[in-house]
Amino acid sequence: MSILQGGNVLITGGTGSFGRKCAEYLLTHAPPRRLVIFSRDEQKHVNMARTQFPASKYPQIRYFVGDVRDPARLRRALRGIDYVIHAAAMKHVDVAEYNPTECIRTNIGGAENLIEACLDVGVKRLVALSTDKAAAPVNLYGATKLCSDKLFVAANSLAGQGGTKFAVVRYGNVLGSNGSVVPFFQKESGSGVLPVTSPDMTRFIITLEQGVQFVLQSFERMFGGEVFVPKIPSTTILDIAKAVAPSCRTTIIGIRPGEKLHECMVPCDEARQTLEFDDHYVIQPTLKYWVNQPPAYIEAGKSCSAGFTYSSDTNNVWLSVPQLRELIATHCPPAGDLGIPKAA
């Protein structure tokens, strides 16, 4: 993370779960000269400034109210910025299905606006957050994130030699984040019954801290155009329910529209351009942006075999119920706690 230390950093969606944890981690481990929190939610800015990062203690933070749909506001916010972490998105599957044009304008139009603004003002590097739902998508949210990923990868061609470098990070469900299943189960546990979509449903699991660390490490690793995928464990939705509330009974309600039974982060068709490392995969761009000088990390990677997939149901690392219970106790706030945690 030395590349970010002392630099000027902007986080889009900076008042969300990831943005708050990322800001906390940066300020603790790699303090930037200036940290801009970019978000459209005024109240979240106020809460964050009052309870987590007060100006008296963190004078380098700037709270910038704005929307990624507004290209002029983005260009203004990005003036003097070296590094961008793009976490802003509409991410709820059901909300996206009911409001498709809004999802498209934020996730796709916002990505295009951000790319153009970064190129205009001379940002050095951008890492965009994606999702396992962008791999072979079956819902609109996943489809918009796939399109967004393609835009960021292709933006390296627009940047040219010496221009902004763009890369993407793709990972699975974040334990305890806004809208995830753990807070929902915590809330429902009082009724004595937890609704489970399918006992066979599997998901990749990552903590906020692990997600933040992986994103920040990607700034060091990136050459431009990669999709970085961490190696993380799988679990079943039924085991999550057992970990949250072992005394509750479960009722099977069926898979909801737009959901998959299992998630995938490296589909078979992308495995042909994927390199495997000890703790992550790198999906290389189809069109290489490093013809004359390939990245050094390529030599250390192992090409994935034909037909390889990295899927939550065939993963070789699984979380047991006791392990899940320990992670939930450590990383998830109690049910109903919607406040912003204090900085460490």
| Across 215-223, average pLDDT | 95
Distances (CA, A) of 274 to 36, 112, 265: 33, 25, 11
pLDDT over threshold 90, residue 339: no
Give the model's confidence band at 288: pLDDT under 50 very low, under 70 low, under 90 confident, else very high.
confident
For 209, counting Cβ atoms within 10 Å of its Cβ (0-12 exposed, 13-18 middle, 19+ buried), the class is middle
Contact residues for 338 (Cβ-Cβ < 8 A; gap 6+):
none
The helix/strand count (H/E) of the chain reads as: 12, 17
Alpha-carbon torsion, ordered 111, 14, 165, 173, to 10 deg: -80
Domain extents for the chain?
Answer: 8-172+207-230+264-311
The residue from 133, 145, 231, 260 that is catalytic is 133
CB of 319 within 8 A of CB of 239?
A: yes
pLDDT over threshold 50, residue 74: yes
Tell me the per-residue pLDDT of 56-73, one tens digit each, with 9 for 90 and over. Answer: 899 999 999 999 999 999
Side-chain-side CA neighbours of residue 164 (13 Å): 25
User: What is the average pLDDT score of the chain?
Assistant: 92
Tell me the per-residue pLDDT of 90-137, one tens digit each, with 9 for 90 and over. Answer: 999 999 999 999 999 999 999 999 999 999 999 999 999 999 999 999
Predicted pLDDT of residue 247: 93
Q: Which CATH class is domain 8-172+207-230+264-311?
A: alpha beta
Q: Quote helix, strand, coil % in the chain, to nearest 5.
A: 40, 20, 40
Whole-model pTM? 0.93
Please provide the DSSP assignment of 291-330 as one string: SSS--GGGGG-EEPPTT--EETTT-S-B--HHHHHHHHHH
CA 84 to CA 52: how far, in whole Å?
Answer: 21
> For this structure, is 133 an active site residue?
yes
Please provide the DSSP assignment of 24-85 as one string: HHHHHHS--SEEEEEES-HHHHHHIIIIIS-TTT-TTEEEEE--TT-HHHHHHHTTT--EEE
| Across 174-179, average pLDDT | 80
